[in-house]
Amino acid sequence: SVSAFLLNRSSDLEIGLHYDYFRKSHSMPLFQPTEDGNTLSWSINNSYTHDFIAFSLGIQKIDGKSRYMIQYMIGLMNYKEDGNYSPYNKWLTNYSVGHCLGHGMMAGYDYMLNEHTAIGIEVTYCIGNITKLNQQGHLDNLNELVSETIYLNDPISLSRISPKAGLRYYF
């Protein structure tokens, strides 16, 4: 996660930008019985990424070298899934993307090492729901790209809690 704040280092108000990135990959074998008594097997190999870029507004309390922060964030959440997930391997490659308005809250603590650098921790909670996916892929033929829009009955939840620790630079 990256945050850029537009503030005076001694101000109580924080206005800025927040960027958060999450990626997860998953692989697993699947098996399906066929009508002739055999078993069809294939594997699913998918990667999921969530991006969140948001404007943030927050307050901070400065107590000596300690800083306590709370922020509200609102912005664009992106979802991307790519891989293969067809039982009959018709989809040779496939990816789906979706976008939604996301909200979040961040609470953090920084200990100032010097005038500009701090070490700290934060917990971010972001929420958003994808209701429509744009899907592209190759069916049977790698030279033919197929596109479709899928409207989801059950939205994909992008809600998550992200604990983080690291260095922060104050301009």
pLDDT band at 144 (very low <50, low <70, confident <90, very high): confident
Q: Which residues touch 154 (CB under 8 Å, ≥6 apart)?
A: none
Give the predicted TM-score (pTM) of the model: 0.73
Number of helices (H) and strands (E), helices first, in the chain?
0, 9
pLDDT band at 1 (very low <50, low <70, confident <90, very high): low
- Nearest CA to 168 out of 108, 125, 104 is that of 108
pLDDT tens across 61-120, in order? 999 999 999 999 999 999 998 876 544 445 556 778 999 999 999 999 999 999 889 999
Structure tokens at 98: 């979706």
pLDDT tens across 31-69, in order? 778 888 888 776 677 888 999 999 999 999 999 999 999
**Taking the CB of residue 100, how many other CB atoms lie within 10 A of it?**
17
Question: How many CA atoms, within 13 angstroms, populate the side-chain half-sphere of residue 13?
Answer: 1
Q: Measured in whole angstroms, how far is the alpha carbon of residue 122 from the centre of its chain? A: 16
